[in-house]
């Protein structure tokens, strides 16, 4: 038996594939560690100062891609995860279904990349805004990718996309058909750990195959009857690019709900609100209709986009 340190690069049905040196070890998590990990505390130094109450806040799966772990290696190429090293950050959402559980999508991420297509399926702006809010919450840098630029765009697309550039987000426009945006994309991914996130069928796996010929991740046509993708990628994986960098390709998601964010914190997750000069009349203004609200004024004078403001109202009602 040997003790080594590595990084979880792939997860499939409770098997964790840990890259350690130049090999990949197929690991399980000891049941003792699993129990311990299901009751998390806020990471020190994170925005979340409050330590979570242990009661009922459970994690669906306590080990995520990007986690740095200590393992004991065993027979063949198998091992047991003994310890998870402290995380720099983690990207979580509320697990789908009714129970309040946290789903950790990835840990120790350098950049979150929401990926949407301009058509087939058309962009889900609300989901994008949720993802951006999560990135702000986790204090992870973001770059947005709009893919399938070879297809006809909806009329409002350019105007809406430019809102994000004006806010200050990096945006990359790509097409694997017309070979657009590759250089910028590769430079964004180089030498760091990035995480692709987006609905099914927008082309997350296709983008990786395009950036790295020979990778051959499974991709599939968007269903013709519904225009929705069909969840071709079914497990999470960090792919190493020859150009440098690791990229997480997650299965497509239908919904993305914030995990453990209080409604008073939501205004702080919209940088264009945060950066407005001046103050609202009321110190605890919720920006939903109080008099003397600088956010509402900025929306009325088109300094802040109405769509983003609507997203904000949505998030408050249904985080
Ligand atoms: N026209 C066009 N089609 C694209 C482009 N990129 C990907 N596609 C197509 O979109 C479909 C879905 O691509 P995938 O890569 O499987 O999508 P995904 O986001 O990984 O989907 P899930 O794994 O289900 O989350 C495939 O038929 C791709 O060929 C593009 O730039 N232009
Ligand atoms: Mg995929
Ligand atoms: Zn206000």
Q: Please compute the mean of the pLDDT values over residues 84-99 and round it to a whole number.
A: 85
Q: Which CATH class is domain 111-249?
A: alpha beta
Q: Which two tokens stand for residue 156?
A: 């409002």
pLDDT grade for 260, boundaries at 50, 70 and 90: confident
Q: Where in the chain is the domain with CATH 3.40.50.300?
A: 111-249
Output the ligand 1 site: residues, CB below 6 A: 147-148, 150-151, 175-177, 200-206, 219-222, 229, 231-233, 251-252
168 versus 93: the higher-pLDDT residue is: 168
Q: Which ligand is nearest to the CA of 309?
A: 3
Quote the ligand 2 centre to 218 CA distance (angstroms): 7
Of the candidates 84, 27, 23, the residue with the CA atom closest to the CA atom of residue 59: 84
**Pocket mutation for ligand 1, best pick of 182, 201, 217, 234 (most atoms within 8 Å of C-beta):** 201
Q: What is the pLDDT of residue 42?
A: 47
- Domain 2-87 adopts which CATH fold? OB fold (Dihydrolipoamide Acetyltransferase, E2P) (2.40.50)
Gap from CA of 209 to ligand 2 centroid (Å): 10
CATH class of 263-317: mainly alpha
| Of the listed ranges 9-13, 17-21, 276-280, the one predicted with least confidence | 9-13
Query: Range(s) for CATH 1.10.40.50 in the chain?
Result: 263-317
**pLDDT tens per residue across span 36-50:** 765 555 454 555 444
Give, in order, the Cα–Cα distances in Å from 18 to each of 44, 65, 139, 238.
Answer: 25, 9, 26, 10
Q: Is the pLDDT of residue 267 over 90?
A: yes
How would residue 51 be classed by pLDDT, with cut points 50, 70 and 90? very low
Identify which ligand lies nearest to the alpha carbon of 208: 1
Taking CA atoms only, the protein residue closest to ligand 1 atom 7 is: 203
Considering the chain, tell me which residue range(s) the CATH 2.40.50.140 domain(s) occupy. 2-87
Q: What is the mean pLDDT of the chain?
A: 87
Pick the residue whose CA is nearest to atom 9 on ligand 1.
203
Which residue owns the Cα nearest ligand 1 atom 1? 148
Q: Strand runs (DSSP E) across the chain, as ranges?
A: 2-12, 15-20, 23-29, 58-59, 68-73, 78-84, 90-94, 101-107, 111-117, 143-147, 170-173, 193-197, 236-240, 246-249
Ligand nearest to the CA of 211: 1
Question: Cα(305) to centroid of ligand 3, in Å?
Answer: 15
């Amino acid at each position: 038996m040997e003790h080594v340190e590595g990084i979880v690069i792939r997860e499939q049905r409770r098997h964790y594939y840990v890259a350690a040196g130049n090999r990949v070890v197929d690991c399980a998590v000891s049941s003792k560690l699993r129990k311990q990990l299901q009751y998390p505390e806020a990471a020190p130094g994170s925005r979340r100062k409050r330590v979570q109450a242990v009661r009922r806040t459970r994690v669906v799966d306590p080990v995520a891609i990007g986690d740095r772990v200590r393992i004991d290696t065993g027979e063949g190429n198998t091992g047991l995860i003994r310890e998870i090293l402290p995380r720099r950050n983690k990207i979580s959402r509320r697990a789908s279904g009714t129970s309040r559980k946290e789903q950790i999508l990835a840990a120790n991420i350098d950049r979150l990349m929401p990926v949407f297509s301009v058509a087939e399926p058309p962009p889900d702006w609300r989901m994008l805004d949720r993802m951006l809010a999560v990135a702000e919450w986790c204090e992870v840098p973001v770059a947005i990718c709009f893919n399938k630029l070879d297809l006809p765009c909806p009329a409002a697309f350019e105007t809406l996309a430019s809102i994000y550039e004006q806010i200050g987000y990096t945006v990359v426009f790509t097409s694997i058909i017309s070979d657009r945006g590759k250089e910028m994309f590769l430079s964004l991914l180089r030498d760091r750990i990035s995480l692709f996130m987006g609905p099914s069928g927008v082309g997350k796996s296709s983008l990786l195959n395009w950036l790295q010929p020979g990778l051959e991740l499974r991709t599939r046509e968007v269903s013709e009857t519904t225009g929705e993708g069909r969840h071709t990628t079914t497990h999470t994986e960090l792919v190493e690019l020859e150009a440098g960098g690791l990229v997480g390709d997650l299965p497509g998601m239908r919904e993305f709900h914030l995990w453990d964010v209080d409604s008073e914190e939501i205004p702080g997750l919209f940088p264009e609100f945060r950066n407005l000069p001046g103050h609202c009349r009321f110190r605890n203004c919720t920006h939903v209709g109080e008099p003397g609200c600088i956010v509402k004024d900025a929306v009325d004078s088109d300094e802040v986009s109405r769509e983003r403001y609507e997203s904000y109202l949505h998030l408050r009602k249904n985080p």
